[in-house]
């Protein structure tokens, strides 16, 4: 035995030991010259076309970035925008139809804004050019609608183009898992890592091992998919795998305990999942579906594809063949043979599970997809497989009645899209994304930059409020004070006149209020003054001071007069201010002036 053949056998045996043999039973993988490839693999540089694609896609809606700063900004932004919504578009371009779901996810509910189902005519599937042109013409008007704007976009690719592996790693530390995965993955992938886009999910961690689900696809496939969507001006933030979406659809609805199968029959492919205690244990894809049945009917009945499609839906499998014509019998026979092929693949999956686990307790089969709607198909499966068959139901959503009606009408076709609707954080949800890492990093960098700028703008706004707003208030108050000063300045002449009038009124009030006192004082002076003294001037001040001036015939008369005033009950502190002689010689006249205080309180 050559070393190459020995290595080939070792690789297959090793894969079976690690639970990877199920894929090996159904698909041939070229694993020759593995050792040579490991030694010669080198990282390829990013082409100019890829760089341009990365630039365009990174300019579209950013994805979430889980850093402390980003989370703080998210919380702040959520508080500032309590009614913020998250719109998402789910796009599933199949070989027989186009399915589009547009959602608006609020904090407490998911609103279905539109559910669009577009059948692809068989005539346009003859060449890729015709098919791509039809898809462009169908999607472009929808993509230009307001519902698409600022929405995150998720697309679904068939499991048939993917590599899905279950790997056991001898560690439970996430950092070690990421380091070990790049080395361990090489032995399970038929292409160099430099040619692969991959993502992983930790299914379970039981010390000392971690069970990892790894999905991978060739970079050229992902690049072609993104380039085609770019022609539609669509830039997805996530690329999902059909089998993973099928598994997640069971989580989005009621979780089922035990062990069961999921079978989703599309037009060109059929996905089969094995669920063990709410965990995805195995998935595979069969490269045929309901379209193959239509082609067989078209060939056997010698009719067009469209007529065969119509007859297929009208008749299906006939369980009891009484009172049936030859055409119905032919349709039933062809449909039964087609169903038998699917049953054979399902049995192979069940047998492989029983061989690897030693168990035979598969409880039911959950059926979905447009191909599952064939009449009496579920009864035929139940009779042949001897297990319970359950038709999957549409995921309940809120929305306009006409939109919900169309969504429920094509519930089986929309089933994979429903697997991308995540209502609440769900244990076991597989969030795997095949968008290239460099695009993810570009979007993360843009998202972080936007959040940093938003945070800086918020801080700047707060700074303006703290510093500029008080200054603005002070300036506003100064302006008001200036206006008031101008008004006061214009009123000064009027205020001066008012002040003068007030003084005159006050003077009049003072003298009027003291009138009786003045009369009393004059009366008292007139009684006291002697005959030889004449009073020429009498002054009565507010300070209750009285000044008297006049003439007398002698100094002694002035002195006697001052003494009499001092003895009066009205006057006190009488003083002679001056006396002097005047007049001609021989005619003695004394000029004098006296002052005194009023001691009667009534004179105030």
CATH class of 254-392: alpha beta
pLDDT at res. 109 = 79
Q: Do domains 57-253+417-435 and 254-392 have the same CATH topology?
A: yes
* Helix H or strand E segment including 518: helix 515-528
- Residue 531 is classified by DSSP as T
Strand ranges, E, within 266-308: 270-276, 279-286
Question: What does 106-166 look like in DSSP terms, one character per residue?
Answer: -SS-EEEEEEEEEEPPGGGGGSHHHHHHHHHHHHHHHHTSTTTTT-EEEEEE-GGG-EEEE
Instruction: Compare 297 and 258 and report the one with higher pLDDT.
Output: 297
Residues paired with 155 in a beta bridge: 91, 239
For the stretch 83-107, what's the b/e string if a residue is b when 16 or more beta carbons lie within 10 angstroms of its beta carbon? Answer: eeeebbbbbbbbebbbbbbbbbbee
- Interaxial angle between packed helices 377-385 and 326-357, expressed in degrees from 0 to 180 and rounded to the nearest 10: 40
pLDDT at 116: 93
For the chain, give the percent of residues with pLDDT over 70: 78
Greater confidence (207 vs 22) lies with 207
DSSP 213-230: EEEEEEHHHHHHHHHHHH
Q: What is the pLDDT of residues 298-343, one digit of tens each?
A: 999 899 998 988 888 888 887 766 656 888 888 888 989 999 999 9
In terms of Cβ atoms closer than 10 Å to its own Cβ (0-12, 13-18, 19+), residue 559 is middle
* Residue 436: pLDDT band with limits 50, 70, 90: confident
* 571 HSE (CA, 13 A, CB side): 27
Residues with Cβ < 8 Å from 232, sequence gap 6 or more? 135, 136, 139, 140, 143
What is the DSSP secondary structure assignment for residue 44, as one 8-state letter? P
- Single pTM value for the model: 0.64
Q: Which CATH architecture has domain 515-603?
A: 2-Layer Sandwich (3.30)
Q: What is the pLDDT of residues 247-288, one digit of tens each?
A: 988 776 655 678 889 999 999 999 999 988 888 888 889 888
Task: Classify each residue of 187-223 as buried b or exposed e, where b means 16 or more C-beta atoms within 10 Å of its C-beta.
Answer: bbbbbebebbbbbbbebebeeeebbbbbbbbbbeebb
Local structure of residue 258 (DSSP, 8 states): S
Report the pLDDT value the prediction gives residue 249, as an integer from 0 to 100.
85
> How does residue 55 score in pLDDT terms, banded at 50, 70 and 90?
low
Residues 6+ apart with CB under 8 A from 483: none
| pLDDT, tens only, 575-586 | 999 998 887 666
What residue ranges do the domains of the chain occupy? 1-36, 57-253+417-435, 254-392, 515-603
Condensed to tens digits (0 to 9), the pLDDT of residues 378-420 reads 899 999 988 899 988 888 888 899 999 999 999 999 999 888 8
What's 57-253+417-435's CATH class? alpha beta
Rounded-to-integer distance, Cα 515 and Cα 435, Å? 109
Q: What percent of the chain has pLDDT over 90?
A: 19
Output Rg (C-alpha) for the chain, integer angstroms.
53
68 membership: H or E segment, kind and range: helix 68-80
pLDDT, residue 58, reads: 47
């Amino acid at each position: 035995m050559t070393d190459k053949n020995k290595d080939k056998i070792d690789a297959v045996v090793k894969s079976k030991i690690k639970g990877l043999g199920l894929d090996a039973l159904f698909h041939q993988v070229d694993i020759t010259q593995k050792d040579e490839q490991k030694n010669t693999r080198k990282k390829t540089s990013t082409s100019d076309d890829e760089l341009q694609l990365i630039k365009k896609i990174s300019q579209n809606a950013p994805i979430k970035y889980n850093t402390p700063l980003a989370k703080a900004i998210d919380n702040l932004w959520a508080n500032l925008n309590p009614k913020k919504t998250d719109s998402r578009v789910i796009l599933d371009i199949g070989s027989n139809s186009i399915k589009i779901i547009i959602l608006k996810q609020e904090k407490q509910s998911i609103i279905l804004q539109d559910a669009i189902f577009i059948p692809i005519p068989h005539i346009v599937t003859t060449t890729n050019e015709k098919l791509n042109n039809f898809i462009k013409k169908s999607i472009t008007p929808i993509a230009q609608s307001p519902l698409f704007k600022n929405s995150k976009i998720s697309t679904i690719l068939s499991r048939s183009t993917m590599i899905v592996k279950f790997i056991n790693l001898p560690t439970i530390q996430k950092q070690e898992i990421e380091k070990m995965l790049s080395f361990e993955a090489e032995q399970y992938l038929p292409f160099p890592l430099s040619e692969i886009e991959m993502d992983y999910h930790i299914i379970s961690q039981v010390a000392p091992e971690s069970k990892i689900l790894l999905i991978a696809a060739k970079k050229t496939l992902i690049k072609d998919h993104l380039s085609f969507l770019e022609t539609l001006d669509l830039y997805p933030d996530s690329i999902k795998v059909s089998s993973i979406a099928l598994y997640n659809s069971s989580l989005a609805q009621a979780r089922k305990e035990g062990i069961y199968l999921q079978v989703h029959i599309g037009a060109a492919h059929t996905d089969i999942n094995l669920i063990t205690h709410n965990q995805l244990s195995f998935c595979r894809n069969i490269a045929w579906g309901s379209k193959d049945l239509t082609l067989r009917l078209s060939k056997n009945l010698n009719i067009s594809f469209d007529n065969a499609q119509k007859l297929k839906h009208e008749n299906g499998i006939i369980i009891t063949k009484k009172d049936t014509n030859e055409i119905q019998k032919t349709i039933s026979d062809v449909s039964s043979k087609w169903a038998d092929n699917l049953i054979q693949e399902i049995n192979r999956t069940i047998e492989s599970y029983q061989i690897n686990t030693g168990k035979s307790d598969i409880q039911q089969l959950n059926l979905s997809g447009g191909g599952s709607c064939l009449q009496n198909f579920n009864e035929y499966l139940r009779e042949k497989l001897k297990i319970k068959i359950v038709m999957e139901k549409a995921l309940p959503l809120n929305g306009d009645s006409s939109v919900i009606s169309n969504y429920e009408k094509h519930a089986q076709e929309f089933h994979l899209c429903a697997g991308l609707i995540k209502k609440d954080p769900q244990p076991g949800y597989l969030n795997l994304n095949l968008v290239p890492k460099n695009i993810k990093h570009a979007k993360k960098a843009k998202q972080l930059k936007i959040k940093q700028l938003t945070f800086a703008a918020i801080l700047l706004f707060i700074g303006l409020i703290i510093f500029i707003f008080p200054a603005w208030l002070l300036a506003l108050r100064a302006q008001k004070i200036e206006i008031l000063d101008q008004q006061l300045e214009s009123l000064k002449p009027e205020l001066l006149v008012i002040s003068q009038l007030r003084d005159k009124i006050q003077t009049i009030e003072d003298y009027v209020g003291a009138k009786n006192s003045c009369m009393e004082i004059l009366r008292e002076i007139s009684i006291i003054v002697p005959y030889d003294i004449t009073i020429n001037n009498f002054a009565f001040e507010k300070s209750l001071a009285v000044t008297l001036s006049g003439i007398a015939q002698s100094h002694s008369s002035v002195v006697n007069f001052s003494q009499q005033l001092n003895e009066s009950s009205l006057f006190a502190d009488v003083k002679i201010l001056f006396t002097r002689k005047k007049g001609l010689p021989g005619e003695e006249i004394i000029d004098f002036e006296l002052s005194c205080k009023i001691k009667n309180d009534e004179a105030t």
